[in-house]
Structure 1
């Protein structure tokens, strides 16, 4: 009984600590929730920001759908950057982003990748038999019903008449970077990711690009979360649209959209 009571007491203390952690995290610094595909580029921008200002930014990466639901449930994010307008719309309709702060930040392209650096090109528009190319392997994609990269991927494959042929060979991952990792490691022969993801990993090659008209436009909107009280939220969010950040985004395969009348 004594040892069981100690276990219960320890569990209660851990729970209490977890309950106060969000408030502490909010008070101590800036917390950004960002789509997993932004990891490489935002890590660099956050480091540039620290070098310029001496201030640090904590960035939590995951699928946009997961991040939006965490914010909805009270996660202490200060800024949210989604890989699709739908999940930003979701939070905006729930009045969970600051009025007037939303802006379109970036665009991207959808590509088919293969393991290794010298894989042969695939002509998807010419009716390539992707299912045959896969053989006994899997086509890895982010969750096709919720994570933007997976949603775009399913749209593209459907538009090209390929979805029904490959759906039985599709392996879904929690986010696009998980799909990238599986192809890079050789666990899967092909995957669908963003062009910026492919640029960030030397273990894969782009074997095809999906026509822009085959899927909804890939747009990354950003906004300040309505409950944020971080003093640096506005400054860092503005820095994301600065000339310095623009150069970093371009160098890593993104298309900056700020400054095009969408702010």
Structure 2
């Protein structure tokens, strides 16, 4: 059942960076409507707590699913301590994913936001869509999925705050530079919300449709608890999102301004 955690053995662990690991699971789907899509997420249960995590790999041929987790707090640290052969509970997929449109897209990911972006890059390239990717991070050691996306046939442009790899500066600066000479049918993005807010403004300036994957505190993932509702629309990020079109994002008044912690207290970005 989709809403009951499926206890799965960790098939493989890939160390993507000093802070990020990808956990690979066998994932065979009998009902095609439950097949994961780029941009959707899973709930991961470590038998003590449960957290939402973006799907970072979907391989229908090998029947494998990948979840990339950044080591931040108690939950992620415990998961990072696991080994191949250990088990985790997984339920999902949940939420609304990316909607592929056009023949040339720009994909922008910041930090662990590259997880759903890389999945969409694979999806687009499998369908012959031309993809330029801006992979951004604080420093070169934290850039994610570079070789994988290059092998998929995407044009990958790295971007680091400290200039240790590729463009020196913020992802929004690189997008602005790129849009001076390139045209796209669609922009997709996931990463820090202030980054995505800047990309939304650039997409509107150049009249390019855009989709954004938002992160909010989630508990149930089924739209029941209301923990991830956003102002002023009341949309549940776990159901109506996490991917929203640009015109939808503009209706969310908290976007790029604040989010809420587990108690519901507003926390400015």
The alignment's TM-score, normalised by the length of structure 1, stands at: 0.32
The alignment's TM-score, normalised by the length of structure 2, stands at: 0.31
Instruction: Indicate the structure with greater strand content.
Output: 2
Instruction: Indicate the structure with greater helix content.
Output: 1
